[in-house]
Amino acid sequence: MTTAIAFKLLAILSAVALGWLAGRLNWLAGAGVDRVAAARVLSDAAFMVFVPALLFRTTVRLDLAAMPVPLLLAFFAPVVLLLLAVYAASLWHAGRTGRDAAAPAEGPATRAVTATFANSVQLGIPMAAALFGEAGLALHIALVSLHALVLLSLATALAEAARARAQARVAGGGSLARTLVQTARQTVVHPVVLPILAGLAWNLTGLGLHPVVDEVLALLASAVVPLCLLLIGLSLAAYGLKAHWRGALGLVIVKLLVAPALVLLAGQQLFGLQGLPLAVIVMLAALPVGSNALIFAQRYRVLEAEATAAIVVSTVAFVGTAAFWLAVLGHLRHLPH
């Protein structure tokens, strides 16, 4: 691991520690407001204001014609399949253990996004720059530009479909058509999906953004990273780690070991990637859990503690797993000289 990546990891953990300290000292919790409520207020602000600004601006600025399609397929095909597999396994486990009736319907989708969503910006961008230079960073950014759009949109659709089915059961059943309409409406009118669709529509007009609008959106988007890191620390202070790390361990293993292994296999065997492109997608898949997993969990008020634990544990464990995957890529002669 390079010094630049180590320093970035230290900076991320330091920001999380500051959020934890703010939570422990109740800096954001006033009279009648506990740590959980304070964390959820920040989460709502991120999810309803700052993240939509980031997603809309990113989508509008995408150069759709320049997207490296084989590279995108080599990364997103196995990651999306893994997300669906984790979702299905979580549903099966909930039904097998008999906890599906009491557990929130959005839990499986939350676990799925936690097991697949990477810290592609705060940690991923400096990692790609340090390891692969400008050529690798350009490939990484192309993937990052679609990372949240693909994974959060899919997870949102799964969560809203589960919610619609649960509401139909509570109401004594309902027609399939009504459930589908409700799912579609709740998925589209959503603070993740709606700005993406609006951004794509505006992108296709070719009009671009007015400089003032672009500056406002950039200003709001710049708050996402520090706010999310503080939010992780606040949630850690609110929920603790000791009681939840075991539940998060399986998700961490999937994120740090299974995801990059699948991307390596798919990229090499199915899409014929070699060298720098293959190394870039494997190391992107190998990144620890991203903070958007916690925002997603808090949006649906489900598994916040587990998502927080997965983020913290995977970030610390990445020190070892990053070295492992770099060694694998070096052994297979895919690292650039």
Q: What is the pLDDT of residues 51-63, one digit of tens each?
A: 888 878 888 887 7
The answer on pLDDT for 6 being more than 50 is yes
Span of 11-25, 89-103, 294-308 with lowest mean pLDDT = 89-103
Q: What is the pLDDT of residues 15-43, one digit of tens each?
A: 888 888 888 887 776 645 567 777 778 87
Cα angle 159, 303, 102; round to 5: 75
Q: Would you place residue 181 in the very low, low, confident or very high pLDDT band (cuts 50, 70, 90)?
A: low
Q: Would you place residue 101 in the very low, low, confident or very high pLDDT band (cuts 50, 70, 90)?
A: very low
pLDDT at 182: 62
Q: Where are the domains of the chain?
A: 3-331
The answer on pLDDT for 71 being more than 60 is yes
CB neighbour list of residue 107: distance below 8 Å, 6 or more residues apart = 90, 94, 302, 303
pLDDT at 4: 67
Q: Would you place residue 177 in the very low, low, confident or very high pLDDT band (cuts 50, 70, 90)?
A: low
Span of 112-116, 151-155, 179-183 with lowest mean pLDDT = 179-183
Q: Would you place residue 253 in the very low, low, confident or very high pLDDT band (cuts 50, 70, 90)?
A: very high
How far, rounded to the nearest angstrom, does the alpha carbon of residue 299 sit from its chain's CA centroid? 13
Amino acid at position 243, single letter:
A
The answer on pLDDT for 312 being more than 80 is yes
Dist CA 66 CA 60 (whole Å): 14
The answer on pLDDT for 5 being more than 80 is no
Share of the chain above pLDDT 90, in %: 24
pLDDT at 98: 55
pLDDT at 280: 94
pLDDT at 190: 67
For residue 251 the two structure tokens come to 């998700």
pLDDT at 64: 74
Q: What is the pLDDT of residues 269-282, one digit of tens each?
A: 999 999 899 999 99
The answer on pLDDT for 100 being more than 60 is no
Q: Which residue has the higher pLDDT, 160 or 29?
A: 160
Q: Residues 303, 110: contact at Cβ < 8 Å? A: yes
Nearest to 149 by CA among 310, 292, 332, 5: 292
pLDDT at 74: 95
Q: Residues 206, 61: contact at Cβ < 8 Å? A: no
What mean pLDDT comes out for the span 289-307?
86
pLDDT at 48: 82
pLDDT at 216: 94
* DSSP tag of 118: B
pLDDT at 187: 62
Span of 157-166, 177-186, 257-266, 282-291 with lowest mean pLDDT = 177-186
CB neighbour list of residue 90: distance below 8 Å, 6 or more residues apart = 107, 108, 111, 112
pTM higher than 0.85 = no
Q: What is the pLDDT of residues 313-326, one digit of tens each?
A: 898 888 889 889 98
Q: Residues 113, 296: contact at Cβ < 8 Å? A: yes
CATH of 3-331 given 3.40.50, 3.40.720, 1.20.1530, 3.90.550: 1.20.1530
Beta-bridge mates of residue 118: 289
Beta-bridge mates of residue 254: none
- Residue 136 is inside which H or E element, if any? helix 124-170
pLDDT at 102: 44
Q: Would you place residue 173 in the very low, low, confident or very high pLDDT band (cuts 50, 70, 90)?
A: low
